[in-house]
Amino acid sequence: MQSVNIAVFASGSGSNFENLARYFSDNEHGRVVLLVCNKPDAPVLERARSLGIDSAVVTKAELQEPERVMPLLRRYGVGFVVLAGFLPLIPDYMSVW
C-alpha cells in the first residue's frame, strides 16, 4: 500500500492536529504534510511550526475558490483531507476531488 499525504484543516488550538501529526509521523500508510487554517493567529499554526509541518492560511472567502485551494493541495500531493475542529464547511468542489 502506498503512503498518502494528508492535509489537516484546523482553526483552533491544534490539539487534534498535533495528535494526528504525531500519530502519522512514523506511520507507513500516511503522513501529515500540510496544515490549512483560516485564522492567521490560531495557536495551531505554532504547533505546525514546532512539528516541522508546512502551513497555509486560507481565508473563509478563499476556501470557496477552487483555484486557490486545489493548487495548494496538489502542490503537496495531498490525497486525503482531515477536518480537525474546522468549522467552515468544505465547499462542494472538494467533494469530487
pLDDT tens string 20-44? 999 999 899 999 999 999 999 999 9
**Strand ranges (E), the chain:** 4-10, 30-37, 54-57, 78-84
Residues forming a β-bridge with 34 = 7, 54
Domain 4-85 belongs to what architecture?
Answer: 3-Layer(aba) Sandwich (3.40)
Kindly tell me if the per-residue pLDDT of 94 is higher than 70. Answer: no
Please state the pTM of the whole predicted model: 0.87
| pLDDT tens figures, 47-84 | 999 999 999 999 888 988 888 899 999 999 999 999 88
Q: How far apart are CA 33 and CA 79, in angstroms?
A: 10
